[in-house]
Amino acid sequence: MRANRSGIDKEYSGRRHARACAGILALAAALAGSAGASRAAETEPFRLCADPTNLPFSSDNPSQPGLYVEIGKAWRLVAMVQQIAGRLGEASETISKVIHHARLGGDERLVARSALGMTLSAVYGPTPAVQAIAQCEALIASGLADRQVQNLIIGKVALLHAMVGDFDTARRNATSARVVLRDLSQGVRAAASSLDVAEVELLAGDPAAAERELRADCEMLQQLGEKFFLSTMANALARAVLEQGRDEEAMAWTKTAEASVADDDVEAQAEWRCIRALILARRGELAEAEALARAGRELAFQTEAPAMRASTLSDLADVLSRAGRVEEARSAYGDAIAIYTAKGNVTSLRRAEHLLLAIQ
């Protein structure tokens, strides 16, 4: 299972814009926090402009919600940039600030969207899968105000169920969430809803089913010229096609991913390199394959995402095994197994153990 972007709001899909906004707004929020660092009591509201009554940007009345909500939204942009970069521990801390300010401002919709951010960190971060399931299902049971967010969370919980080997629950949750999300949205958002279903199928060892979920939506995103979701979905499709033995087609999809991915999208940058490395290794182009696999691993280890780290290690091990460097391959598989074990990703753990045994 690889991290993906399907839970991030499309309204912020311009990542360079989000990053720029995050820098400005994070400064305001940081100043808001530092202004009262020496005080034990609640700080006075920080004014974001010269006019103290210019709601919703600022207020000289602490009972007005505008200021708190705006600071919460500022932290939310920061959290999104952190999640895209794979800094999930930092993102969790930032999201707690979003929730704090959203509750002060009485913005239940922002609280709900922040719950989605917490879910993404639980799924893709180091929280053990069983514990993450309990956390996410508690969020669902709390009755979130946003139906779309609730079903995005359900789709992510499906990935956790697939990690622990409960594929019936995983498929049921992912499919039901996709139905609701497609009823609630159109175009790009509807297309992106297939990604969680496909990831469940990849974990379940059914790449043909994953391809069926992804192909039409990837082709639609290409026609629309959309890139935010396409880079991740093209990578997933490339892996699904490769696992069915169609190497040239998989190569073409890695090129689609490469052409559409943003510089700061670490996960997608790592993934296309690793998939292409597997293809090149099968061709016997081992030096280039190893270079790409190692580059993917280095990118993955810039993040706090265990699934991404372990996946790149497994791909590197495959390349090294084909090059006849058995001990190095065993070591890489061993490192991947340790990461999967810590996460409680039983499904990927068993697969890595099987691959390790195959080269002994």
Picking from 63, 96, 126, the residue at the C-terminal end of a domain is: 126
Residue type at position 103 = R
DSSP state of 46: P
- Asked whether residue 152 is assigned to any structural domain, the reply reads no
With beta carbons less than 8 A apart as the criterion, state whether 156 and 7 touch: yes
pLDDT score, position 360 = 65
User: Can you give the CATH number for the domain in which 359 is found?
Assistant: 1.25.40.10
**Residue 69 or residue 179, greater confidence:** 179
Residues 305-325 have a mean pLDDT of 97
- Asked whether residue 256 is assigned to any structural domain, the reply reads no
- Asked whether residue 161 is assigned to any structural domain, the reply reads no
- Asked whether residue 317 is assigned to any structural domain, the reply reads yes
CA distance 319 to 290: 6
- Asked whether residue 53 is assigned to any structural domain, the reply reads yes
- Asked whether residue 236 is assigned to any structural domain, the reply reads no
**pLDDT tens per residue across span 279-296:** 999 999 999 999 999 999
Q: Is 216 exposed, middle or buried (0-12, 13-18, 19+ CB in 10 A)?
A: exposed
With beta carbons less than 8 A apart as the criterion, state whether 126 and 342 touch: yes
pLDDT score, position 35 = 36
CA distance 72 to 95: 9
Q: Which two tokens stand for residue 216?
A: 């039409």
Domain membership of residue 28 as a residue range:
1-126
- Asked whether residue 327 is assigned to any structural domain, the reply reads yes
The dihedral region occupied by 2, where left means phi > 0, alpha psi between -120 and 50, and beta the remainder, is: beta
Q: How does residue 53 score in pLDDT terms, banded at 50, 70 and 90?
A: low
**Into how many domains does the chain fold?**
2
Which H or E element spans position 74?
Answer: helix 66-84
**pLDDT tens per residue across span 320-359:** 999 999 999 999 999 999 999 999 999 999 999 999 999 8
**pLDDT tens per residue across span 1-35:** 444 554 544 334 444 444 444 444 444 444 344 33
pTM here?
0.79
Residues 74-93 have a mean pLDDT of 83
- Neighbour-count burial for 19-41, b at 16+ CB within 10 Å, e otherwise: bebbeebbebbeebeeeeeeeee
Torsion 157-159-165-170 (CA) sign: positive
Picking from 102, 126, 150, the residue at the C-terminal end of a domain is: 126
Picking from 111, 126, 141, the residue at the C-terminal end of a domain is: 126
CA distance 290 to 125: 27
Backbone angles phi, psi at 271, to 5 degrees: -70, -45
- Asked whether residue 88 is assigned to any structural domain, the reply reads yes
Give the list of residues 6+ apart from residue 89 with CB closer than 8 angstroms, or none: 121, 125, 126, 304
- Helix 326-343, helix 306-322: angle, nearest 10: 160
